[in-house]
Amino acid sequence: MPDYRRGAHTVYDIKYHLVWVTKYRYEVLRGDVAIRVRDLIRELCMAKEITIIKGHVSRDHVHLYVSAPPRMSVSQVVQYLKGKSSRILQQEFSSLRKRYWGQHLWARGYFCASSGTVTDEMIKAYIEQQDMPPKDQFSVRDEAQ
Name the catalytic one among 24, 65, 100, 126: 126
CA dihedral 84, 87, 91, 95 (to 10 degrees): 120
Is there a catalytic annotation at residue 80? no
CA 49 remoteness from chain centre? 12
Pair 15, 114: CB distance under 8 Å: yes
Cα–Cα distance between 103 and 40 in angstroms, integer?
17
- β-pair type (51-57, 11-12): unpaired
Beta-ladder partners of 51: 67
Catalytic residue numbers, as ranges: 126
